[in-house]
Amino acid sequence: MPMRSKNVLGELASLDPKRLVLISAGEASADLHASRLIRELRSLAPELVFFGMGGDNMAAEGFIPLVDAKEISVVGITEVIPKIRTILRARWTLKDAILNLRPKWVVFVDLPDFHMSLLPIAKKAGSRIIYFIPPQIWAWRSYRIKRFRRYVHKALVILPFEETLYRSHGMDAIYVGNPLLEMYLEPKPYYEGNDLILGLLPGSRDKEVERNLPVMWEACRLLKKEIYELRVLISCAPSISEALLHSILGPLPPWAEIMKGAQGVLKDSTVCCIVSGTATLEAALMPVPMVVLYKLSKTSYILGKLLARVPFISLPNLIAGKRIVPELIQDEASPMPLYRALRELFLSQQKRKAMIDTLLEVRSLLSTRSSLKDALRECLI
């Protein structure tokens, strides 16, 4: 899905701008959430035409991609540098589309470092700006709220405490529930059998996988020596090439298997090891006991530490307001500490059950919500 030609923009230019909705979503989870938003908007206004930057889930809903989201999918600060030309080209493509087509609505989904520079451009075009999954000002770089408040008409937030926070800064914000609740409507029954399955979810970006999967795999090997019956399921995100996993893992032993996506891995796992991100919340909603891992480049980690304002990195801990799942970050994200944390969960059914009970509390905190469809109906007025 390469950058699209001027012919596509010409076709869009022939349409009434009131029908046009530019949506920009920049990574795998945002693509998934934006696809749901497209479905809801189309059910309210079938005449709308959706285009911009997105991925396969959005395209499956009839979205017209001008930019493939995978082209700019990076994590960290120094990791942006090799892709800077691609990122700037994507930004230029979207800027050109906004200014020339002047869509009635521009919807930004997550990815604030990319989208914040497009806010004044969308306002200049006269578009109404909706931000779905806005910047986590509660975590770091809270100064962005001033720019955000100046340009955004409505913020659709997916963590319950964010509505109060944004409203306290004068923003029109509404908690629309977390989209993942639609995928995990009911928690899976607690299982007390003898199957011992470890799920690995190494991330949805190449650099995440390259840094974290080797650590996970070495911890697996240590664990397998002690727990002979252990099986391992490895999630391959839609944005990741399976060839990348094989290049890191080498020939897989018979006790390990690669699976597409996260849901199957979470459903079958006794315990999971997960790179910090959306997948930690998926695991909480399943629920499945977990250990959270995260490793960045040294420079990105140091800069992140200077800017961060939160005591935790995983969503279950942030939502609960306390440490309910172990987090191994940077120097701690090495095979031996990970092996020990996983071993503790595998060898104690009581610890696994206690963690599941606390994860069910996280589900409860997320369950009170307004309807995304109702919030979008209000946006369309």
Instruction: Dump the DSSP string for 267-328.
Output: HH-SEEEEESSHHHHHHHHTT--EEEEE---HHHHHHHHHHB--S-SSHHHHHHTS--S-EE
Whether 336 shows a pLDDT value over 70: the answer reads: yes
Alpha carbon 87 to chain centroid, angstroms: 19
pLDDT of residue 73: 61
Q: What is the pLDDT of residues 103-133, one digit of tens each?
A: 999 999 988 888 999 999 999 999 999 999 9
Whether 8 shows a pLDDT value over 50: the answer reads: yes
Domains 6-180+368-380 and 197-366 are alike in CATH topology:
yes
Question: Looking at the domain covering 197-366, what would its CATH class be?
Answer: alpha beta
CA distance 157 to 162: 6
Once rounded to an integer, what is the mean pLDDT over residues 303-325? Answer: 75
What is the percentage of the chain residues whose pLDDT exceeds 70?
88
CA distance 105 to 41: 11
pLDDT of residue 147: 85
pLDDT of residue 373: 84
Cα dist from 274 to 3, 100, 119, 295, 328, whole Å: 32, 42, 33, 11, 10
Long-range contacts of 213-216 (CB under 8 A, 24+ apart): 213/245, 213/248, 213/249, 214/248, 215/293, 215/295, 215/333, 215/334, 215/335, 215/338, 216/273, 216/293, 216/338
pLDDT of residue 77: 45
pLDDT of residue 185: 80
Q: What is the pLDDT of residues 195-225, one digit of tens each?
A: 899 999 999 888 899 999 999 999 999 999 9
135 — pLDDT class (breaks 50, 70, 90): confident
Q: Strands 271-275 and 197-201: what pairing?
A: parallel
- CA angle, corner 160, sides to 150 and 377, nearest 5? 65
78 — pLDDT class (breaks 50, 70, 90): very low
Q: Where do the structural domains in the chain lie, given as residue ranges?
A: 6-180+368-380, 197-366
Q: Domain spanning 6-180+368-380 has what CATH number?
A: 3.40.50.2000
Once rounded to an integer, what is the mean pLDDT over residues 298-317? Answer: 64
CA distance 36 to 42: 10
Once rounded to an integer, what is the mean pLDDT over residues 316-345? Answer: 92
